[in-house]
Amino acid sequence: MSRVRGSSRQGDGAASKNKPDNTAFTQQRLPAWQPFLSAGYVLPTFFLLGLIFIAIGLGLYFTSNTVIEIELDYTGNSPNSLCHRCTKNDTKDCKCTIHFKVNKTLPGPVFMYYELSNFYQNHRKYGVSRDDDQLNGDLDYLTNPSEYCFPFRHDQQSRPIAPCGAIANSMFNDSFVVYKVNSSGVSKVSLNGKGISWWTDYNVKFNNPKSDNGTDDLKQAFEGTVKPANWPRPAYELDTSPANNGFVNEDFIVWMRTAALPTFRKLYRRIDGGMQPGNYSVEISYNYPVLSFNGKKRITFSTISWMGGRNPFLGIAYITCGSACIVTGIVMFIVYIKYHGRHVFKED
């Protein structure tokens, strides 16, 4: 019995030791407020939220419709297409020209995109086929790429590929030149390719490797590596400007940010001065094949609004949610009027 009483005293001591402090917070004595969800509060809330959502949705929808877009399909799959001859396998360095008309002034900046369809950059094996350490300029990974890049890690002579991986190997390589057609002749439209990539990508994630002697000689830094199989020239010859060459080439950086959907646009250039009404033409260097996977290629010229480019989805989503709130409020109001004052549950 003594041992039992002793155990009880020990248990009381342990319980006292673990007992929370006698405060309002630990003893759950803080003041609290619990809403009373009556019809007088719930129904006005549903109607008010519905009206707010619909107002926001209409604003977003009509703002999106103010964005002007000009789309030009240059896939060339139709025999009547101006670029059809460039789709033949034996055609190299082929160029084709598409003419279009601007009916109203497009205020600058006008964004020029290229668009691909039926191209799945969200495929898992494709999306991980890259070496971020190599793209960050690490010399060790430049000559010894990650295994994720397989089978675009080494060439047939076991030389490392830089940049490695399926994403880099499939880089979009069509190029475009825009002309304004005047009565006095043809003038070239200035295209700005600076600042088309994300700031974090250009300044943080992508860096050129340094050569062994610490200089910025890219050709020497890439010595011992080979270009991707589908590239016409190595990474250190992507541009004549050192600030836009190698791994920090902005066209390359834009391509390396993979898209989530099979139809996507990527920013190619900006026309800072806008586009005046008149006749224009685009000279296309047709290099990128898409007919093998039933894809399509387009060029898009687009203005912007305060909310960005044209995308009516967000406005439609707000209008739909607001309408759902209004309908739900009406149904609840009818049910409240019909059953108010009646006993829904009968006593046994």
Q: Which helix (H) or strand (E) covers residue 5, if one does?
A: helix 2-18
| Helical segments of 136-231, H only | 139-143, 166-169, 199-200, 218-221
Per-residue pLDDT of the chain (348 residues; tens, 9 = 90+): 445 455 555 556 666 677 888 888 888 888 888 878 888 888 999 999 999 999 999 999 999 999 999 999 999 988 888 899 998 866 678 999 999 999 999 998 999 999 999 999 999 999 999 999 999 999 899 999 999 999 999 999 999 999 999 999 999 999 999 999 988 889 999 999 999 999 999 999 999 998 776 667 899 999 999 999 999 999 999 998 888 999 999 999 999 999 999 999 999 999 999 999 999 999 999 999 999 999 999 999 999 988 888 889 999 999 999 999 999 999 999 988 887 755 444 444
Look at residue 264 in the predicted model and tell me its pLDDT: 96
**Is residue 134 within 8 Å of 145, Cβ to Cβ?**
yes
Q: Which of 205, 123, 198 is nearest to 167 (CA)?
A: 123
pTM of the model: 0.81
Q: Residue 72: which of 107, 112, 119, 121 has the closest Cα?
A: 112
Return the C-alpha torsion angle 322, 327, 331, 332, nearest 10.
10
CA distances from 306 to 57, 67, 136, 203, 227 (A): 15, 10, 34, 26, 41
Residue 140 has phi, psi (to 5 degrees) of -65, -40
Q: Which candidate, 312, 313, 330, places its Cα nearest to that of 50?
A: 330
- Crossing angle of helices 313-339 and 39-65, rounded to 10°: 160
